[in-house]
Structure 1
Amino acid sequence: MKDLNLLYTFEALWRDHSTSIAAHNLGVTQAAVSSSLKRLRQSYGDRLFTLVGRRMEPTPFCAQIAPRLLESLALIRAAESQTVEFDPALCRTSFTINMRDVGEVVCLPPILKKLAAVAPQARLNTVGGDITDTLNGLATGRVNLAFGYMPALLTDIHRLPVFSQYYVCAMRRDHPLANKPLSIEAFLASDHLLVETGGTGHQALERALVDAGGRDCIRMRVPHYLSGPHLLLETDMIWTLPCALGRTLAAYYPLQIRPMPLPIPSFEIDLYWHDRFHRDPQNKWLRETIGEVLRSQQPQWQ
């Protein structure tokens, strides 16, 4: 096979069973995938993948040659990761990190400061997405790292703990409970704001409220953290949120941060990357650099 790009197309079709999904994960058009498949068919004299229902299924011949082709691609990637030298000062790569708005607010400023000092030509993008999108992005290389608390992110994933978090309560400074002891009874009798994001720890928080008798105390559910302070300023709602975010927002909004009266376990914030890129020099440098920056910030977030 003279064109190695055909190997990547073969791998994507084998993995995704769809020309459209393969095109999305490869970052090319569906027409480009179809063209590559046509060339593969011509090279091997076999249809390789045929449409069965809504899935592109491999032919018997395709299933026979797939292990050798996929192994060849793995060897190529391994050779590249061993021979490529990486110098951060010369890096012009545009890195992509999957993180939610809470990570952007709390963690991006010190990360950007560090990158500006050691890799001034590098660029950084962030993306969102659910657990499936995150895993897909990491596996295909469209996303270099994921960051946050994602206990559902498991398949072929490495993780690096960077700092721990616990929950605190936030309310407006002139809230009726702002200058009173926050008992469990008063906490459960109040209206609550809940940030509900798939794959994170909000389920544990809601379970704790329900177990303590606060099944009906959640007044509002939102999918994003950054709307939280604005929703507190004109209401008597209480918001339970990670301590690092609470400390950060309280520096810019008139919020009162109080200890959480319910016993909810602390949790680890991790960096995640796919096994395919475990030995990649750029990925290794990026995750180690970000991990060092964030671990150094933990004392001021407690």
Structure 2
Amino acid sequence: MKDLNLLYTFEALWRDHSVSIAAANLGVTQAAVSSSLKRLRHEYGDKLFAQVRRRMEPTPFAVQIAPLLLESLELVRQADSQMAAFDPRDCRKTFTLRMRDIGEVVCLPSILKALSAQAPMARIHTVTGSVDETLNGLSTGRIDLAVGHLPTLQTDIHRTLVFSQYYVCAMRAGHPLAGKKLTLERFIGQQQLLVEPGSSGHHTLERALVEAGGRKNIWVSIPQYLSAPHLLLETDMLWVVPHALGKVLSRYYPLLLRPLPLKLPDFEIGMYWHDRFHRDPQNKWFREIVGSALRESVAA
């Protein structure tokens, strides 16, 4: 077997008898498990696991080879356990995070605080880029961790969801609608500021505005979040913004946040890393630091 990671898929299916449960326990998508199973079937020339009612049951050939494969996986785990321990106090690495400006505002302060406390000699570098660039960076190790809403980032990628977010409406203090109930009719009739981050998953917003009849009132479209408050202060535009970002910005700008009358689904903020570094002690420690900091940043 050329790819030892396929052993983990075999073990999970053998144990869980379910693609969805195996994916959840491995921390990958169902599509990733299905892809690995397809590669296993091609390599062995056998179906290995077949759907029987609601369970994935092993074929006779899978039963025959299972003891050898599971024993091999145990040897791999024993080798992993011999990896050198990681001491964050001695770490001088510059960790590279893929995140947009919204993540730098909402999440990065808490990450820096945690990193400073546990690894004072470590440093942080942030980058952005397309999904393909992010995937390439994660696979080569140029990016240690991606943070954000990246539902299309899947191939050989592990993901853990950290917190859920929803949208609110931001307007300047003194806006004509500030003292009124923000109905859908009033919302749609107002000029809109639309942030379109092309490489993330925030594309449902524009569709919802168009479907509600607000296409003609999309007055300004920009690719980044942090210029938006400045544009609101001199106009009567409304801005649909993730709640966590709106809450932070309203501390520093005279902005009002109102419940959004437009129906939009909540979205998940997650951490993403490549399977190559899944068991690396340094990467694992960094994921734990960032995950804890992300949850703290939203709770604040």
Mapped partners of 1:211, 1:121: distance in 2: 51
The answer for the alignment partner of 1:122 in structure 2 is 122
Shift of 1:285: 0.5
Residue matched to 1:96: 96
The whole-number CA distance in structure 1 between the counterparts of 2:250 and 2:298 is 17
The residue identity in structure 2 corresponding to 1:282 is Q
Partner of 2:166: 166
Quick one: distance in 1 between partners of 2:105 and 2:79?
A: 38
User: SS at 1:220's partner residue?
Assistant: strand
Aligned pairs (5 A) from 1:1-302: 82-300=82-300
Unaligned 5+ segments in structure 2 are 1-75
Secondary structure class of the residue paired with 1:84: coil
CA contact (8 A) 1:88 1:119 kept: yes
Residue 166 of structure 1 and its aligned partner are, at CA, apart by 0.2
Q: 1:94 to 1:80 in 2, by over 3 A?
A: farther
Partner amino acid, structure 2, of 1:281: P
**Structure 1 unmatched runs, 5+:** 1-75
Q: Distance in 2 between matches of 1:91 and 1:202?
A: 35
Q: Is the 8 A contact 1:81 1:280 kept in 2?
A: no
Q: Which range is displaced more, 195-204 or 278-287?
A: 195-204
Q: Is the 8 A contact 1:152 1:199 kept in 2?
A: no
**2: CA distance between counterparts of 1:241 and 1:82?**
47
Q: Distance in 2 between matches of 1:129 and 1:204?
A: 20
The structural deviation recorded for 1:197 is 1.1
Describe the superposition over 1:206-231 as per-residue Cα deviations: whole angstroms up to 9, x where unpaired: 11111212122211110110011011
Shift of 1:152: 1.3
Q: 1:180 to 1:123 in 2, by over 3 A?
A: same
Q: Is the 8 A contact 1:81 1:281 kept in 2?
A: no
Provide, for residues 137-162 of structure 1, a one-character-per-residue CA deviation record: whole Å limited to 9, x for no partner. 00100000000001111111111111
* Distance (whole Å) between structure 2 residues aligned to residue 223 and residue 81 of structure 1: 45
Q: Once the two structures are aligned, what percentage of the paired residues are identical?
A: 61
Closer, same or farther in 2 for the Cα pair 1:281/1:202, shift >3 Å?
same
Classify the secondary structure of the residue corresponding to 1:263. Answer: coil
Distance 2:81 2:165 in 1: 34
Q: Which residue of 1 aligns with 2:59?
A: none
Q: Could you tell me how far 1:79 is from its partner in structure 2?
A: 6.0
Contact 2:129–2:199 (8 Å) recurs in 1: no
Alpha-carbon shift at residue 81 of structure 1 (Å): 8.2
Q: What SS does the aligned partner of 1:288 have?
A: helix
1:263 positional shift: 1.3
May I ask how many residue pairs the two structures share in their alignment? 225
SS of alignment partner, residue 152 of structure 2: coil
How far residue 282 of structure 1 moved from its aligned partner, in angstroms, is 0.7
Give a deviation string over 1:165-186, Cα, whole Å, max 9, x none: 0001111101111111100000
1:80 shift after superposition = 7.7
CA distance in 1, matches of 2:154, 2:131: 10
Q: 2:106·2:297 contact (CA, 8 Å) conserved in 1?
A: no
Mean Cα deviation higher: 161-170 or 191-200: 191-200
CA contact (8 A) 1:151 1:199 kept: no
CA RMSD of aligned residues (A): 1.8
The structural deviation recorded for 1:110 is 1.0
For normalisation by structure 1, the TM-score amounts to 0.71
Structure 1 segments, 4+ long, off by >4 Å, are: 78-82
Equivalent residue letter for 1:252: Y
Write the letter of the residue equivalent to 1:182. Answer: L
CA distance in 2, matches of 1:251, 1:213: 32
Q: SS state of the match for residue 143, structure 2?
A: coil
Q: Which amino acid aligns with 2:277?
A: F
